[in-house]
C-alpha cells in the first residue's frame, strides 16, 4: 500500500506544481496582483529575468512591484506556459517550463520564447516558487500587426 501512496503523492505534487506555473501565467495575464503574490514563497523568494532585458527582485513585495512596473509597459500581455519537467526532492523541487509571451504597448512590441528554471518549496498552503529564473531563447521587438485588447478588469 505504501508504494501506491508514494506514487499518488508524487502525482499530486507534480500536478500541483504544474497548476502553480499555470496560476503564475494566469495572474500575469489578468493583471491580478493578489494572485501573482500568492504563487511566491513567503520568505526568500527571488524573481530574475535574464538578458537582454534583465531585472531582478527579492522578496514578495519587490517581486509584486517589479510585476506592476512590467505591466505598465504593455497595453496587452499574454504569457503561455507550455511543457514542464519537474524533479521532486521531499519538500523542495526544481522545474523547467517553456514559455511563450506576446505583448504590445503604445509604441512597443514584444514577442518571445523563453525558459523558466525554478526552485520550489512546499509551504503549509502548498507549493510556492522560491526562485524563478527567466532565460530568453528568442526575442522579437519589431512591429507586428493585429489588434490588441486591454484587460478590462485589472485586479490589484
Q: Which of 149, 148, 118 is nearest to 133 (CA)?
A: 118
Residue 155: pLDDT band (50, 70, 90) is low
CB-based contact 86:117 (threshold 8 Å): no
Residue 153: pLDDT band (50, 70, 90) is low
Average pLDDT over all residues of the chain: 94
Residue 6: pLDDT band (50, 70, 90) is confident
DSSP 8-state secondary structure symbol assigned to residue 42: S
- CA-to-CA distance for 123 and 50, rounded, in angstroms? 27
- CA-to-CA distance for 90 and 12, rounded, in angstroms? 13
Q: Give all domains of the chain, ordered by start, each with its CATH number.
A: 1-140 (3.10.450.50)
Read off the pLDDT of each residue in 9-34 and give the average, rounded to a whole number.
96
Helix-then-strand count for the chain, H and E: 3, 6
Read off the pLDDT of each residue in 25-49 and give the average, rounded to a whole number.
97
Q: Which of 111, 104, 24 is nearest to 71 (CA)?
A: 104
E-state strands within the chain: 46-49, 55-58, 76-89, 92-104, 109-123, 126-140
Between 146 and 47, whose confidence is greater? 47
Residue 148: pLDDT band (50, 70, 90) is confident
> What is residue 87's predicted lDDT score, i.e. its pLDDT?
98
Residue 156 predicted with pLDDT over 60:
no
Q: For the segment 61-118, what is each residue's pLDDT rounded down to a tens digit?
A: 999 999 999 988 888 899 999 999 999 999 999 999 999 999 998 889 999 999 999 9
> What is residue 147's predicted lDDT score, i.e. its pLDDT?
86
Amino acid at each position: 500500500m505504501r508504494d501506491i501512496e508514494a506514487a499518488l503523492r508524487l502525482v499530486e505534487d507534480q500536478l500541483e506544481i504544474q497548476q502553480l506555473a499555470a496560476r503564475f501565467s494566469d495572474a500575469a495575464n489578468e493583471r491580478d496582483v493578489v494572485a501573482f503574490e500568492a504563487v511566491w514563497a513567503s520568505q526568500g523568494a527571488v524573481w530574475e529575468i535574464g538578458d537582454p532585458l534583465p531585472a531582478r527582485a527579492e522578496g514578495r513585495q519587490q517581486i509584486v512591484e517589479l510585476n506592476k512596473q512590467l505591466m505598465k509597459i504593455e497595453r496587452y500581455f499574454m504569457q503561455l506556459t507550455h511543457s514542464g519537467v519537474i524533479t521532486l526532492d521531499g519538500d523542495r523541487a526544481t522545474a523547467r517550463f517553456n514559455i511563450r509571451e506576446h505583448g504590445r504597448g503604445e509604441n512597443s512590441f514584444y514577442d518571445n520564447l523563453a525558459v523558466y528554471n525554478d526552485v520550489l518549496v512546499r509551504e503549509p498552503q502548498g507549493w510556492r516558487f522560491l526562485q524563478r529564473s527567466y532565460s530568453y531563447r528568442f526575442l522579437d521587438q519589431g512591429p507586428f500587426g493585429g489588434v490588441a485588447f486591454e484587460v478590462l478588469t485589472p485586479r490589484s
